[in-house]
Amino acid sequence: MPTEFSSLFVSDLHGQVDRFQKLFHAIEAEQPRLVFIGGDIMPGLSQVRSLDFAHQDFIFDFLAPELRKLRSVLGEPYPRIFIILGNDDGRFPEPSILGVAGEGLWTYSHDRRVKVGIYTIYGYAYVPPTPFQLKDWERYDVSRYTDPGCISPEEGVLTIPMSQDERRYSTIGDDLEKFTGNDDLSKAVFLFHAPPHKTRLDRAALDGKMIDHVPLDVHVGSIAIRRFIEDRQPLVTLHGHVHESTELTGSWQDRLGKTLMFNAAHKGPELALIRFDLDDPTQASRELI
């Protein structure tokens, strides 16, 4: 039987209909109270690069109708669904995401906090600079530094306007400080897209690779997010972004102090489904389906 704070967490489904269908079946069968979707939800980027925005219909033509059907079947047990976008999504689908949120089908969580009983859910979508061109959801991490092989947030492609000052001076570290202020985070859940730096959740397959004779860091997570977790100690943090990390490290979870951290990104074709209960997150489990 589901408990008051039973939860499912997925991330990086990348528009794969079969993965979403597996998630919807799990929700119907298990009836969790909370569902977290950690970004990179849309199909591939070829249409973004061509500025053909038609594929945002993935939200209105697939996700929204499927969630309406699920809510009709479940009735009152329909869960609270919290969702953010990821760096492969671009930002232009945000109005569609908000439109679906207006129906009560999910809660758009980026840069927002929501109370759920004694817990508070926070969402944050930005990742540190990557080698990819799309920059809607990229920020400098703790300073205006870009790793070798990566493209700075001041370059690349945007799908919505952003001021040059924001691109040049914003950092993940500053964002998180402003976002949380003096909040007590002991009962907080953070839905991130990026994982924290130098953990079991951010290991990339960059072994032996070099740019201009400089070896690449195999840990590609956020230094700012790691420092934030170490300093503020939220209850649980949820992450994605680095698909191969679990395969390379052998673990989809890690801990910094009291904070438990889970990674739902997955390299293979299956859906990586993480189950946990906020009242006892130490009993979390992961299944590939």
Of residues 283 and 211, more confidence is placed in 283
Q: Give the lowest-confidence range in 1-10, 154-163, 248-257.
A: 1-10
| pLDDT value of residue 45 | 58
The stretch 186-215 carries a mean pLDDT of: 95
169 HSE (CA, 13 A, CB side):
4
Question: Strands 6-10 and 214-215, how do they pair?
Answer: unpaired
Write down all domains in the chain, each with its CATH number in brackets.
6-288 (3.60.21.10)
Mean pLDDT within 186-195: 98
| 91-125 burial: b if 16+ Cβ within 10 Å, else e | bbbbebbeebeeeebbbbbbeeeeebeebbbbbbb
pLDDT of residue 1: 66
pLDDT at 3: 87
**pLDDT > 50? residue 137:** yes
pLDDT at site 30: 98
Q: Is the pLDDT of residue 104 over 80?
A: yes
Q: Residues 28-43: pLDDT tens digits?
A: 999 999 999 999 999 9
Q: Which residues contact 205 (CB under 8 A, 6 or more apart)?
A: 218, 244, 248
Q: How far is residue 39 CA from its own chain's centroid?
A: 4
Q: Which pLDDT does position 55 carry in this prediction?
A: 46
Q: CA 200 to CA 237: how far, in whole Å?
A: 13
Stretch 75-101: mean pLDDT, rounded? 96
* 119 has pLDDT over 50: yes
> Of 288, 279, 289, 287, nearest to 7 (Cα)?
279
Confidence class for position 49, pLDDT limits 50, 70, 90 = very low
What is the value of pTM for the model shown? 0.95
Q: What mean pLDDT value characterizes the chain? A: 94
